[in-house]
A and B are shown apart, each in its own frame.
Chain A
């Protein structure tokens, strides 16, 4: 077992480093500042694990060391079966012990009173885990993985077993642990004792469940309103996204580039900005409202503030997401299928309805699911446009930060929200199961896509063109709004807002960022650029494992991952605060918590995109690569990733953009040191400084366009078919 030795050696070196060369506990000033180097062997907070045991008297860590040495003993055993067993045992015990000691021993000794009574009180406690402790936990996880690989699990593929183990570990720490902490918190009183009264009371609240809008007078409960809104938003954005995708790929539409640019604009816009722009147009003091009043004497009303307004804003926001999903799907339909249909005496209409559309069905379902869940979780638009007609996500927010703080009400609302999104997810899964249309096969595919039937292309144009114009107007408002002195009162043009936000000056020969926005701007860029590639990597790796590997508990694994997609940002934000504020893992106020939040919140989108793209790649391609002496890591790198380029772009773009535009979770996690652009803008809006807020938003949009273009150029396009076979067929058009 030569290969097993090499990777085990690396792992043992990592384990030794975790004890000898890294501070065991959390470093106050931040690990990556490297200020700990100076006090590494002297300051009692900074010393490595080995000294924590023998010099600082934290004897309980000796057991972790012992378990590590137990696993290391496996290096001496040659029989793969026995070695595997030893590694699995040592790894499992190790990770369990790390978790146990982390949770049980806090700052001042035992965290649980039961431990005090049964083991006697502990003289000293411990701070949160640091680099050393975390690295050792990872080593234990990999012990388990390598152990299983030695025993022939997953056909002995250590890369795959290792990936699965690490992913499970990460998902547990960053999704289940915080959510669990929050649910525990929901049935606890302020002092930590068990008190389910608030939970039960809230669960039966008629303001959540009332059906009065159907059977009686009055309004429906917030749960039903949210559901209704989500169904409409999902359907609307899917339909529009499909129309856009068809126009972009199957017609000779003259402004395709512009079309792609336009559809991308809303995605790179912080959601509340669309709400703001709609207010500027249709609000009580909006341009259209006042124009109608002036021309036709129609009284200004508040129709925009409520579900209608949120719906319009959400369709504007989510159509581009659906478009991004569907364009890959529409392009992925094998042209030879359509050509086959046409030779079978089907006209274009029949070809579209009977062949192309059914082949797109999984993609459509996917787009709808994303739209539905996005709508459920949307926080920015309801915040601006909801008024008193809130939806679940804003209700959760107000239950926590509002006048009456009620964590158990927030939890109940979160459970309701979760059950809706999970139901949608399940329904989708059942409908989609067994419908795998492999369209990129090992056999070369050639041919041209069929054009659209005439009547369909007319109606598609009829949808796309007006919507494009509407989008142009909305964005015009955003840009224009940044140059207007005071909206509704003084419409004279000014550069004042931009100057205040983004001014720079030279002082003493050095560049000084004097604008108020720079601080949050650079933080946002830094965090978005760190988290985007991480998100894409984790997401696509997960997709690869889900689509291509079979293992026990796979559906549970996939389900758990996808569930995190169904958890609204508001809930994530609160749960992160509750979980990562105290040992064993303390991250609040750091950049790390923002990165972790973005990676694990946006990963499911990468996973979905990856799954959709990967199920179109014939499995025999992987198998061919494996029989050609490539291990699974090389197969992934050389065969799968090149074929997945569109999905990689989508994942990178999406996670980058989400990191910049998201607000719901971020608003809980920002700190003075790490303030994000969106929460800063919301602060501006709250202070009534609309001008700067809008100016800042337009600036973000410009920056995002630039960065996305760079991503696109870096990742490139895939070339599989003969190009220009048919002059009528659209070439691959690069997404902006």
Chain B
């Protein structure tokens, strides 16, 4: 398990129907070899179906799927060079940890002895070297999860699939394990497709994130790109919180747009915006509150909550309510205070209507 040949993944116009229900509409997606790509989205968005089609557990209604350049659309699961970590781990309860890890190796035709050696290696990689004789029922949740990862990794697949691998772990362990998975992926250099509904997890582990909604890709890009340049209110709100308000694009200056938000003028990257009515997404931390000035966008504090390292406000303005995170904790504003709002340079984006 020292080196792997990472494979690329390509979905070409893939559609999947379950009866009359269309789970995936028309998915086209390319995943570069050696990258970790997250499929992110609310439940029912089609991310797990996408992963299962890649594994061969579902077959697309139409379209093609390629792994490492090879058309695998009609191949059954056991003939694809991928392996998968299940949400429930799906460890075989009648086999001990070592037998679980060796199972896939024996299926792929390794001799019993070699399978055992490689399985022991695999368990060592995930830090369970002396746990091989234990049944799944005798392992903790975190250990079971690591056995599941080892079982998938020892096959040295072109692509590793992870279906919400952390959802059965507690929060502290989750952070640790996700770091471990990322570290393992970078060290061994395999391609990984990771399904989750937790955007923190996605931001932390991914090279690229594909956000899905209602069976379609809502936006794909690097974590930073998705966070800083959301294309829609859905993405802006799903990738960290955002205030979405109406604004008016006055003019374009170079690649900058000049906008007017309730009387406040601001400059930001124009992206594909047109002059006229538009929507603006503002991160809570990018709003500046000034209790003294009367210029710009005026508002009134509705609620305020002191949280140690920052204060959270809800501010009422003519263009709508803003959720604001203010790090100047030494100055806590009480409700009913009149303020004027300004924007920082980062954390704002013009989005599609």
Q: How far is the CB of A674 from chain B (nearest CB, A)?
A: 41
| Chain A residues in 8 Å Cβ range of B86 | 442, 620, 623-624
0/1 string, B75-100, CB within 8 A of A gives 1: 11111101110111111111000000
A445 adjacent to chain B (CB < 8 Å): yes
Q: Are B78 and A621 closer than 8 Å at their CB atoms? A: no
B56 adjacent to chain A (CB < 8 Å): yes
- Complex: how many Å from CA A3 to CA B79? 10
Provide a sorted-by-A list of 25 A–B residue pairs whose CB atoms are within 8 angstroms: A152-B59, A155-B56, A442-B91, A443-B141, A444-B135, A444-B137, A620-B86, A620-B88, A620-B90, A621-B92, A623-B57, A625-B103, A625-B107, A626-B76, A626-B78, A628-B78, A628-B104, A628-B152, A628-B155, A630-B78, A630-B107, A631-B76, A638-B103, A639-B92, A642-B94
Q: How far is the CB of A639 from chain B (nearest CB, A)?
A: 6
Interface stretch among A90-98, A582-590, A717-725?
A717-725
- A-B pairs, top 6 by smallest CB distance, nearest first, are A444-B137, A628-B104, A442-B90, A624-B90, A626-B77, A444-B136
B146 adjacent to chain A (CB < 8 Å): no
| Chain B residues in 8 Å Cβ range of A718 | 94
| Chain A residues in 8 Å Cβ range of B55 | 623, 627
B62 adjacent to chain A (CB < 8 Å): no
A-B contact count (CB 8 A): 124
Q: Which residue of B lies closest to A442 (CB)?
A: B90
Q: Which of B78, B83, B137, B168 contacts A631 (CB 8 A)?
A: B78
Query: Which of A's residues lie within 8 Å of B, judged by CB?
Result: 3, 80, 152, 155-157, 440-446, 618, 620-621, 623-632, 634, 638-639, 642-643, 718-722
- Complex: how many Å from CA A189 to CA B156? 71
Q: Which of A156, A618, A631 contacts B90 (CB 8 A)?
A: A618
Q: Which residue of A lies closest to B52 (CB)?
A: A623
- Complex: how many Å from CA A445 to CA B94? 11
Q: Which of B59, B104, B139 contacts A155 (CB 8 A)?
A: B59
Q: Which residue of B lies closest to A440 (CB)?
A: B93
Q: How far is the CB of A327 from chain B (nearest CB, A)?
A: 19
Q: Are A444 and B91 closer than 8 Å at their CB atoms? A: yes
| Chain A residues in 8 Å Cβ range of B79 | 3, 629
Q: Which residue of A lies closest to B143 (CB)?
A: A444
- Complex: how many Å from CA A722 to CA B84? 27
B window 128-165: CB within 8 A of A = 135-139, 141, 144, 151-152, 155, 161
A722-B104 contact, Cβ under 8 Å, with A156-B76, A628-B151, A629-B78: no
| Chain A residues in 8 Å Cβ range of B88 | 441-443, 618, 620
Q: Are B138 and A444 closer than 8 Å at their CB atoms? A: yes
| Chain B residues in 8 Å Cβ range of A442 | 86, 88-93, 136
| Chain B residues in 8 Å Cβ range of A446 | 137-138
| Chain B residues in 8 Å Cβ range of A626 | 56-57, 76-78
B74 adjacent to chain A (CB < 8 Å): yes
- Complex: how many Å from CA A629 to CA B105? 8
0/1 string, B236-270, CB within 8 A of A gives 1: 00000000000000000000000000000000000
Q: Are B139 and A630 closer than 8 Å at their CB atoms? A: no
- Complex: how many Å from CA A469 to CA B136? 43
Which of A156, A440, A445, A629 has the most B CB atoms < 10 Å from its CB?
Answer: A629
- Complex: how many Å from CA A394 to CA B138? 56
Query: Which of B's residues lie within 8 Å of A, judged by CB?
Result: 55-57, 59, 74-80, 82-84, 86-94, 103-104, 107-108, 135-139, 141, 144, 151-152, 155, 161, 168
A152-B90 contact, Cβ under 8 Å, with A444-B139, A628-B155: no
| Chain B residues in 8 Å Cβ range of A721 | 137
Q: Are B107 and A623 closer than 8 Å at their CB atoms? A: no
- Complex: how many Å from CA A719 to CA B93? 8
Q: How far is the CB of B256 from chain A (nearest CB, A)?
A: 49
| Chain A residues in 8 Å Cβ range of B87 | 620
- Complex: how many Å from CA A446 to CA B136? 10
Apart from the given pairs A621-B92, A627-B77, A638-B103, 15 other A-B contacts in the complex at a CB distance below 8 Å = A156-B76, A442-B89, A443-B89, A444-B93, A445-B137, A618-B90, A621-B90, A625-B92, A628-B151, A629-B83, A630-B104, A631-B107, A642-B94, A720-B93, A722-B137
Which of B57, B138, B151, B161 has the most A CB atoms < 10 Å from its CB?
Answer: B57
Which of B55, B77, B107, B137 has the most A CB atoms < 10 Å from its CB?
Answer: B77
- Complex: how many Å from CA A442 to CA B161? 17
- Complex: how many Å from CA A444 to CA B135? 8
Q: Which residue of A lies closest to B108 (CB)?
A: A629
Q: Which of B77, B107, B151 contacts A634 (CB 8 A)?
A: B107
- Complex: how many Å from CA A634 to CA B143? 26
Q: Are B77 and A155 closer than 8 Å at their CB atoms? A: yes
- Complex: how many Å from CA A705 to CA B56? 47
| Chain B residues in 8 Å Cβ range of A632 | 76, 78
Q: Are A443 and B83 closer than 8 Å at their CB atoms? A: no
| Chain A residues in 8 Å Cβ range of B152 | 627-628
| Chain B residues in 8 Å Cβ range of A631 | 76, 78, 107
A629-B107 contact, Cβ under 8 Å, with A156-B74, A444-B136: yes
| Chain B residues in 8 Å Cβ range of A638 | 103
Q: How far is the CB of B195 from chain A (nearest CB, A)?
A: 14
| Chain A residues in 8 Å Cβ range of B59 | 152, 155
- Complex: how many Å from CA A62 to CA B141? 65
Q: Are A720 and B135 closer than 8 Å at their CB atoms? A: yes
- Complex: how many Å from CA A155 to CA B83? 17
- Complex: how many Å from CA A454 to CA B77? 51
Q: Are B139 and A629 closer than 8 Å at their CB atoms? A: no
| Chain B residues in 8 Å Cβ range of A629 | 78-79, 83, 104, 107-108, 155
| Chain B residues in 8 Å Cβ range of A625 | 92, 103, 107
Which of B83, B88, B155, B161 has the most A CB atoms < 10 Å from its CB?
Answer: B88
| Chain A residues in 8 Å Cβ range of B161 | 627
- Complex: how many Å from CA A718 to CA B135? 12
Q: Are A722 and B138 closer than 8 Å at their CB atoms? A: yes
A628-B83 contact, Cβ under 8 Å, with A155-B59, A442-B88, A442-B91: yes
| Chain B residues in 8 Å Cβ range of A628 | 78, 83, 103-104, 107, 151-152, 155
Q: How far is the CB of B93 from chain A (nearest CB, A)?
A: 5
| Chain B residues in 8 Å Cβ range of A618 | 88, 90
Q: Are B103 and A623 closer than 8 Å at their CB atoms? A: no
Q: Are B78 and A627 closer than 8 Å at their CB atoms? A: yes
- Complex: how many Å from CA A444 to CA B136? 5
Q: Which residue of B lies closest to A619 (CB)?
A: B90
- Complex: how many Å from CA A234 to CA B57? 41
Which of B79, B87, B137 has the most A CB atoms < 10 Å from its CB?
Answer: B137
Q: How far is the CB of A407 from chain B (nearest CB, A)?
A: 45
| Chain A residues in 8 Å Cβ range of B138 | 444, 446, 722
- Complex: how many Å from CA A623 to CA B86? 9
